[in-house]
């Protein structure tokens, strides 16, 4: 059992602090970088659109946030079926200096039965990432059915994903604990080396605690490391800091199983 204050402190270190809005500007990204300098430790990464990767890197360096990775998104948000386009976007993002690429799985093609295309997209993107980490966004709220979520997880892992991620945060249903259980089970059954990222809808320490406990149950406490576990969030950081500073209790009505 992970105590809630412990979960809050850990969640900050496991966070991909995110701004993926079409209105984002260099000033927006500067504010994001500044918010990453917390008294409770730094997040694992900042996740921004590809055009902001260079500026995010510059600002983190200026602020002395040298341990934070810069992540970006490709084939986003629709999970399109053009493999070459996804690969080229990924290659350009790596060239721009991204440490991590969150690529959207072609979930519509997968649902239509074109699993070979889904496999080829992940494999091709993995081939161009070099040393960058590849995180594959499954869009579990659209896949919906547990058996489909688990099958997509297996496919992504077997195709070279370094992480599998629940959601883009751009659809009606994003991260849920039942979907996370299917994904984490697939990870456990394939050797426990692939990472997991819950994104979209994780807003409070109580929410974070639920995912951390589930991962610990299925994969052990050592799995709760930035190398294998992440939260993708924008609003979560403020809630965690407020709780840890003693300004407010954690929301006890967080995500449930």
Beta bridge partners of 11: none
How wide is the angle at C-alpha 199 spanned by C-alphas 106 and 202, nearest 5°? 150
- Positions annotated as catalytic residues are 102, 165, 197
CB-based contacts of 200: which residues, under 8 Å, 6+ apart?
141, 166, 167, 168, 169, 170, 171, 174, 175, 232
């Amino acid at each position: 059992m992970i105590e809630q204050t412990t979960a809050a402190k850990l969640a900050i270190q496991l966070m991909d602090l995110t701004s993926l809005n079409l209105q984002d500007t260099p000033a927006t990204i500067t504010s994001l970088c500044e918010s990453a300098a917390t008294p409770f430790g730094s997040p694992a990464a900042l996740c921004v659109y590809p055009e902001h990767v260079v500026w995010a890197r510059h600002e983190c360096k200026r602020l002395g946030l040298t341990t934070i990775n810069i992540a970006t998104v490709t084939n986003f948000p629709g999970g399109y079926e053009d493999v070459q386009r996804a690969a080229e976007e990924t290659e350009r993002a790596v060239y721009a200096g991204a440490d991590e690429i969150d690529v959207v799985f072609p979930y519509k093609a997968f649902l239509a039965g074109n699993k070979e295309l889904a496999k080829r997209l992940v494999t091709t993107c993995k081939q161009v990432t070099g040393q960058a980490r590849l995180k594959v966004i499954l869009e579990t709220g659209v896949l919906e059915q547990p058996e489909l979520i688990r099958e997509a997880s297996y496919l992504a892992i077997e195709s070279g994903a370094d992480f599998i991620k629940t959601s883009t945060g751009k659809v009606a249903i994003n991260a849920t604990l039942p979907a996370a259980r299917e994904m984490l089970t697939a990870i456990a059954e394939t050797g426990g080396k692939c990472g997991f990222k819950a994104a979209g809808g994780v807003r409070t320490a109580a929410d974070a605690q639920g995912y951390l406990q589930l991962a610990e149950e299925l994969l052990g406490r050592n799995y709760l490391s930035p190398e294998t576990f992440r939260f993708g969030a924008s609003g979560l950081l403020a809630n965690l800091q407020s709780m840890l500073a003693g300004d407010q209790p954690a929301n006890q009505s967080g995500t449930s199983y």
